[in-house]
Each structure stands twice: as structure tokens, then as C-alpha cells.
């Protein structure tokens, strides 16, 4: 899993998808697709704490790193998913430098942060605590989402926070928050995305974004974005089933 963070930090292109289907079968199917990582979505899906551990376990079977998008900023939910063995966390709706620092504190063990030590799955249920302590800060990916007008306004201070690996842009929320929804406001949204990406790159941080399709990944890669969450298992299921049905009707 350490390798995954190294790839993210090096700016290698990494492709993941959101796991929103609350069942390990969906994780195994997605994990076998060749993607670089999964991100279990506990913000917008009905996936609770116990299930998260089983979904991470299913991903581990396929040696695919599983991050978790936590529902909010609570340090106990960040600690809980990391104790379950998540390869990283994606913290939504970070709008200030102090929220960014709080995410670092909850994710990293001392001396960098103040995550608590416990006998969770990640630490071999208590039998490998020293090994886990020795490697966790270097192997866990911390990504924070910039997706509000306030986050955009505070971007210079947020990207300066040490301990964050990936500045991840949420274009859906961002477009609503800055009043740039729909195709006629595409330029305004693109300018905001570019401003966030440029600020993050200046501090050497990796930049990520959600894309519903792969259509413009080449273009965003030229803007220095390397960490992608491409749609979700539910979106891929719906889109490919719809395409299959259409093809079958027209055959």
C-alpha cells in the first residue's frame, strides 16, 4: 500500500472509482477491472462503519488499495476507517486551512498528527501495532476535497498545510457553490478548477478530480491533474446496462 502513496506523490496518473454499492461483490468486480484504487463512498452512500471494514477487506483480497471518503470532518470517523485498514481517506468539503490541519491531525500519528493508537484490523488486531505505527504515516494517502466557494477563496492557505497529499476537486459541489452550473457556465467552472490545480501544484501537492467519464482526462492531465476518481460503480453499472439494452433493442 506504501507504493500507492508513492505513486500519488510522484504524480503518476492513478485511476480509481467510487464504490457506492454496499456489497463486497461489487468491490471484487471493480477491483478486478485493472484500476489503481477504489474509494468507498461513505459520504453520499448508505455505507456504515461495519460494512466499510468488510469492503476494505474485499479490496485487499485483490491487492487494490481502498480509500474511504468519510462523511465529514469528525476525527473519529477518519480514525475508524484507517483502523479498518483503509489505504487513505478523502475528506469532503474542506473550506479552511484549520479544517485541513484537523484532517492531518486525525490521519497522521505523532509527531505529525494526533491519531490514536488502537488494536484495529490495520494493526493486526493488536498484534502488529509497532509495525503499523512505523509505516502508517508514510503509506496512508490523505486527500482533501475543495468544493466550496469558501475553499476556493482560501485555496492559498489550504494548500500550504503540511501533511496533505492530494488536493481533490469536487466539480459538482464546486459548480453549485460558485454558481457555475450547466454548460453555459463551463468556462467559469474550468477557471476555478484551474486556479485550484495551479495553487496546489505550486506547493508540490498532487491534484485530483472527479470526472463522470474519461472524455476530458487527457486535457486535465495537461493542467497537472494526475489523481482521478472516474464515476462510480453505480454509474458504470447504469451506463453499461443502458448501452447494452439500447444495442439489444436496435439489433
Give the x/- contact pattern for ligand 3PY in 31-60, rule: CB under 6 A. ------------------------------
Cβ of residue 42: shortest distance to ligand 3PY, in angstroms? 12
Cβ of residue 248: shortest distance to Mg ion, in angstroms? 34
Q: Does 170 bind Mg ion (CB under 5 A)?
A: yes
Stretch that binds Mg ion, among 60-68, 82-90, 117-125, 143-151 (CB under 5 A): 143-151
Stretch that binds ligand 3PY, among 59-67, 81-89, 165-173, 237-245 (CB under 6 A): 165-173
3-state secondary structure the chain: CHHHHHHHHHCCCEEEEEECCCCHHHHHHHHCCCCCEEEEECCCCCCCHHHHHHHHHHHHHCCCCEEEECCCCCHHHHHHHHHCCCCEEEECCCCCHHHHHHHHHHHCCCCCCCCCCCCCHHHHHHCCHHHHHHHHHHHCEEEEEECCHHHHHCHHHHHCCCCCCEEEECHHHHHHHCCCCCHHHHHHHHHHHHHHHHHHHHCCCEEEEEECCCCCHHHHHHCCCCEEEEEEHHHHHHHHHHHHHHHHHHC
**Which of 118, 163, 171, 224 is in the footprint of ligand 3PY by CB under 6 A?**
171
161 or 174: CB nearest Mg ion: 174
Q: Does 53 bind Mg ion (CB under 5 A)?
A: no
Q: Does 147 bind ligand 3PY (CB under 6 A)?
A: yes
Q: Does 151 bind Mg ion (CB under 5 A)?
A: no
62 is catalytic: no
Cβ of residue 131: shortest distance to ligand 3PY, in angstroms? 33
Q: Does 170 bind ligand 3PY (CB under 6 A)?
A: yes
By the criterion CB under 5 A, which residues form the site for Mg ion? Answer: 147, 170, 173
Q: Which residues are catalytic?
A: 44
Amino acid at each position: 500500500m506504501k507504493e500507492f502513496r508513492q505513486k500519488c506523490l510522484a504524480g503518476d496518473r492513478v485511476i480509481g472509482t467510487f464504490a457506492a454499492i454496499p456489497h463486497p461483490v461489487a468491490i471484487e468486480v471493480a477491483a478486478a477491472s485493472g484500476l489503481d484504487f477504489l474509494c468507498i463512498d461513505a459520504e453520499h452512500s448508505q455505507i456504515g462503519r461495519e460494512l466499510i471494514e468488510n469492503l476494505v477487506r474485499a479490496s485487499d483480497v485483490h491487492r487494490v488499495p481502498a480509500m474511504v471518503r468519510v462523511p465529514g470532518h469528525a476525527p473519529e470517523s477518519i480514525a475508524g476507517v484507517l483502523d479498518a485498514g483503509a489505504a487513505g481517506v478523502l475528506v469532503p468539503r474542506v473550506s479552511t486551512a484549520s479544517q485541513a490541519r484537523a484532517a492531518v491531525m486525525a490521519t497522521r500519528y505523532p509527531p505529525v498528527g494526533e491519531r490514536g493508537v488502537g488494536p484495529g484490523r490495520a494493526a493486526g488486531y493488536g498484534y502488529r501495532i509497532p509495525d503499523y505505527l512505523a509505516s502508517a504515516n508514510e503509506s496512508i494517502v490523505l486527500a482533501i476535497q475543495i468544493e466550496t466557494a469558501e475553499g476556493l477563496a482560501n485555496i492559498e492557505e489550504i494548500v500550504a498545510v503540511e501533511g496533505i497529499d492530494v488536493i481533490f476537486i469536487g466539480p459538482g459541489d464546486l459548480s453549485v457553490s460558485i454558481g457555475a452550473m450547466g454548460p453555459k457556465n463551463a468556462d467559469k467552472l474550468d477557471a476555478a478548477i484551474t486556479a485550484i490545480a495551479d495553487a496546489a501544484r505550486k506547493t508540490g501537492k498532487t491534484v485530483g478530480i472527479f470526472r463522470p467519464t474519461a472524455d476530458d482526462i487527457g486535457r486535465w492531465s495537461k493542467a497537472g491533474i494526475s489523481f482521478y476518481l472516474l464515476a462510480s460503480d453505480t454509474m458504470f453499472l447504469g451506463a453499461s446496462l443502458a448501452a447494452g439494452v439500447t444495442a439489444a433493442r436496435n439489433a
